A and B are shown apart, each in its own frame.
Chain A
Amino acid sequence: MKSCLIVDDSKVIRMVAKKILHELSFKTEEAEDGAQALEACKRSMPDAVLLDWNMPVMNGIDFLRAMRALPGGDHPIVVFCTTENDIEHIQEAITAGANEYIMKPFDSEILQAKFSQVGLL
């Protein structure tokens, strides 16, 4: 069973994502911001990270750069999931090492399509 770390400061989004990911047979863990997510990665690297951009304490892009610099940090497949929907943000995410990018609002169909594109399904 593959593991996915859900990083979002919205409890509702985490719940929705968790439900979809469980249906796709993922084991999930949650973090409310980038700092919590980084701690989770230090304990154990997930196979996938579903990552919000704007969060308190540490945002998604800073988390991504920090995680990629960790030992084994190249392992997780990172899918951004954010309301930021302009080319500049998308490009910055790809440069920082994101594998895919979901623009909110999203549904299970989009999440599934994106996860299968990057080989998680």
Chain B
Amino acid sequence: MRPEDFDFAAKLLKDRSGLVITRDKAYLLESRLTPVARKRGLKGLEDLVGGLRTAGEDLLREVTEAMTTNESFFFRDIKPFEQFKAMVLPAMLAARGSRKTLRIWSAASSSGQEAYTLAMVLKEEGAKLAGWKIEILGTDISTEMLEKAKAGLYSQFEVQRGLPIQLLVKYFKKTSEMWQIDPAIRAMVQFREYNLLHDLKPLGQFDVVFCRNVLIYFDQPTKTRVLDNMSRVMPDDGFLYLGGAETVLGISDKFKPVPDQRGVYATTRMPGK
């Protein structure tokens, strides 16, 4: 691949999704874009990347989607959901007791497992949440992933990664070879196409944000910008969840780690901001 073609592709990906591809990760282009090239009847990666300058929106979108990592599973890492149930949810129920509304955002929701996990966790709380209006929003840039999330259909392999068997029996139905999540759980979650790099205000305010294993793909200035933008759509007592390998330390002063709660961050308000 010509270096100028690589640079063009790298810039395109960073602008559209925040994804940083350095030269030592060029193999990722090879492994993920070769199928796209083939599908388009092109000879190979070189032709695809070489033609990006003059490509239409649908190809640029397809290339961007192919390059993003969409790994997701139910109850990923388990701990964050236990913390949510034990600490964040009770705090929110106390703080929002008068207006009884709660909005939760699964940012970069991929195929929806995180958003649905939250819905199941809330459903299991049952009576405590009677009369509450709880919204869970999942957003992603990949329309393919959003379609899958909305359908709520998962393979046997996907429902075995992290989902306790009791919850599979309780909230899923088997439809031929796939498992479909219960309509009542699906109704608790909305999915919407949205780019994290854009202004987040149109999404409204979120009490709790899950943005796990997303920032790792971004460079430092992009991380800072996304975190700052997120803090603007969160209240003073909001909580943010990041992935195990992510932190706000040295990246944003808009959040501070919650003591003894790994991966959980609280919004901070700096005077005058």
Binding site for B on A (CB under 8 A): 85-87, 90-91, 94, 98, 100-103, 106, 109-110, 113-114, 116-117
**A85 close to B156 (CB less than 8 A):** yes
B31 neighbours in A (Cβ, 8 Å): none
Q: Which residues of A contact B165 (CB under 8 A)?
A: 90, 94, 98, 100-101
B22 CB within 8 Å of chain A: no
| B164-175 interface bits toward A, Cβ cutoff 8 Å, 1 = contact, 0 = none | 111011000110
A114 contacts which of B156, B160, B166 (Cβ < 8 Å)? B160
Q: Which residue of B lies closest to A91 (CB)?
A: B169
Contacts of B162 in A (CB 8 A): 113, 117
Beta-carbon contact of B169 and A90 below 8 Å: yes
B120-166 residues at the A interface, CB under 8 angstroms: 156-157, 160-162, 164-166
CB atoms of B160 and A110 under 8 A apart: yes
The one of A86, A87, A110 that contacts B161, using a Cβ cutoff of 8 Å: A110
Instruction: Pull 14 A–B residue pairs with CB atoms less than 8 Å apart, ordered by A.
Output: A85-B156, A85-B174, A87-B169, A87-B174, A94-B165, A94-B166, A98-B165, A100-B164, A101-B165, A103-B160, A109-B161, A113-B160, A117-B78, A117-B164
Please indicate the chain A residues that have their CB under 8 angstroms from the CB of B168 in the complex. Answer: 90, 101
Docked Cα-Cα span, A100 to B174, in Å, equals: 18
Interchain CA distance A114-B78 in the complex, whole Å: 12
Instruction: Report how far A108 CA is from B168 CA in the complex, Å.
Output: 20
A54 to chain B, nearest CB (A): 18
Residue of A nearest to B157 (CB): A110
CA distance A27 to B78 in the complex (A): 26
Contact residues in B for A85 (Cβ distance below 8 Å)? 156, 174
* CA A98 to CA B78, docked complex, whole Å: 21
Most chain A C-beta atoms within 10 Å of own C-beta, residue among B157, B160, B165, B173:
B165
Contacts of A87 in B (CB 8 A): 169, 173-174
